[in-house]
Amino acid sequence: MRKHYAQVLLASGFLVWTSLGISDAAETGRIATTRATDPRLDMITGLEAPGPHPSLGEQAEVFGRFVGIWDGDYNEFSKDGKTTHSSGEWIFGWVMDGRAIQDLFIIHPSATRKERYIGTTLRYFEPKSATWSVTFVDPENGSVATMTGGAVQDGRIVLHSQNKDGKETRWSFGEIRPDSWVFRDEETSDGGKTWRLREEDHMKRRGAIPRALLLL
């Protein structure tokens, strides 16, 4: 079930990129034919969206600029100073009539890992609080992380969550350029006086910038 769910999510991301013109015409035609004849893909048809919903306005740009496929250089840092390096990809696309953005966070198989790791995040904007609500689902480890936040004045996107153990987690998207950005996962146990860097991922866009993103 978990493997099938991951395959469905990956396919949904791929179809979003197709709608933005990333795939060639032949591939688009093949997918359209498959979707028309295979009821197992009906959920994907209902999930995908070619762009943001008009109600989002300028907020669509906050995460909309990440739409596409990014190749990642991942680095995790343990408390004892050990660094674990891996590679993977991060795929973003609009879903649910453009009212939300979903991503797939993937770590490639390696010498120490036979299968790929895959998690997914759903993001949507809450007008009342003027913040983005973010939920990350990790089926492999049976965990869910919920965070809130948005764009800040220094150009970053910053998300926070309060953990049950009293610690606070901060995720940030910084150094954002059309073809690259850096993700950082940090934790504090003293109310934000000091932060420990747990992960830093350097992302590079795969392929050309989607034309649709230039309209955001």
> What pLDDT band is residue 74 in, cutting at 50, 70 and 90?
very high
Instruction: Give the pLDDT confidence score for residue 165 in this predicted structure.
Output: 73
DSSP 116: -
DSSP 210: P
Instruction: Give the pLDDT confidence score for residue 88 in this predicted structure.
Output: 97
* Percent of the chain predicted with pLDDT > 70: 81
Question: Cβ(106)–Cβ(69) under 8 Å?
Answer: no
- How many helices (H) does the chain have, and how many strands (E)? 4, 10
Compute the average pLDDT of residues 97-108. 97
The whole-model pTM stands at 0.79
Instruction: Look up residue 160 and give its two tokens.
Output: 């926070």
Instruction: Give the pLDDT confidence score for residue 212 in this predicted structure.
Output: 63
DSSP 193: S
**What is the spatial distance between Cα 12 and Cα 174, in angstroms, rounded to a whole number?**
26
Q: What is the third-level CATH fold of 49-215?
A: Lipocalin (2.40.128)
Asked if pLDDT for residue 157 goes beyond 60, the answer is: yes
Q: Which residues sit opposite 204 in a β-bridge? A: 71, 180
Q: Pick the more confident residue, 167 or 211.
A: 167
Closest CA to 200 of 158, 169, 163, 172: 172
